[in-house]
Amino acid sequence: MQLSKVIGHRGAAGLAPENTLASIRAAAEVGVKWVEIDVYPIAQGGLVIFHDDTLERCTNGSGLTLDANLETILSLDAGAWFGEAHLGEKVPTLEQALDCIQSLGLGLNLEIKYEGADVEAVVPPILAVLAERWQDNEKLLVSSFNYAALEMCFKVNPLRHLAYLVEEVPSDWLLKLAAIQAYSLNCYYLPLTEEQAVAVKSAGYKLLCYTANEPDLVAQHWEWGMDAVITDDPRQFMHLEH
């Protein structure tokens, strides 16, 4: 796996409207080699790059993201809320984001944003798009807070690298990582302890931490063995890549 130490969060959420192509390009412009984005399954099988359960914060639309039809969500403005310069920016489809990321030569942490139980219906279509458009396993890490979604990923294609996303490291983390042959544990940097970090690393897994926007916040984490930081403001961390 060709992971880099700095991963832009939602593209580079601090530099451009999150989870848009502009955000991905902004990450690349400051030298980022990997980006994290959220794929959100919506009504009738649509797959869009979006974080929230509702449309209000990041678009000029309203209502539940899950209920939005693809045509409507793609017609919304997803940039104006961030600033006038981004007026007219759109919510990307998964396909558009994959093409953009690959054309920039970046690695991808694709987070499956799905809290429901119907992973058998929702996850395979995401993997089918990846199978069609993203062959390079060395530059792709699929993550989710939804463990059942990761189990489904492992079942469909055991060769994809998987990351279990957690806020706090759960007591059964080792069993869970082992069962899906996970690549990494991706956890919130703040509650992580040195003991937990060392245990994850000693067990042979990579350790990624989100979402830290100032180097001081994760200075200790590097010492504990953290492999990568997921950040809204990659500019603060780019010195680590050299």
The entry of ligand G3P, Mg ion, none that residue 230 binds, CB within 5 to 8 Å by partner kind:
ligand G3P
Which residue number places its CB atom closest to Mg ion? 111
For residue 181, which amino acid is it? Answer: Q
Query: Given the complex with ligand G3P, which of 210 and 224 has the nearer CB atom?
Result: 210
Shortest separation between residue 184's beta carbon and ligand G3P, angstroms: 11
Find out whether 67 and 138 touch, Cβ atoms under 8 Å.
Answer: no
Q: Give CA separation, 13 vs 30, 37, 128, 208, in Å.
A: 13, 10, 27, 18
Query: Hey, what are 133's tokens?
Result: 């458009």
Query: Given the complex with Mg ion, which of 22 and 142 has the nearer CB atom?
Result: 142
Query: Given the complex with Mg ion, which of 38 and 227 has the nearer CB atom?
Result: 38
Shortest separation between residue 51's beta carbon and Mg ion, angstroms: 6
Cα 212 from Cα 228, distance rounded (Å): 11
Find out whether 226 and 209 touch, Cβ atoms under 8 Å.
Answer: yes
For residue 120, which amino acid is it? Answer: E
| DSSP tag of 58 | T
The entry of ligand G3P, Mg ion, none that residue 165 binds, CB within 5 to 8 Å by partner kind:
ligand G3P
Q: Which residues bind ligand G3P (CB under 6 A)?
A: 9, 36, 38, 51, 111, 143, 165, 186, 210-211, 230
Residues that bind Mg ion in the complex, under the rule CB under 5 A: 38, 111
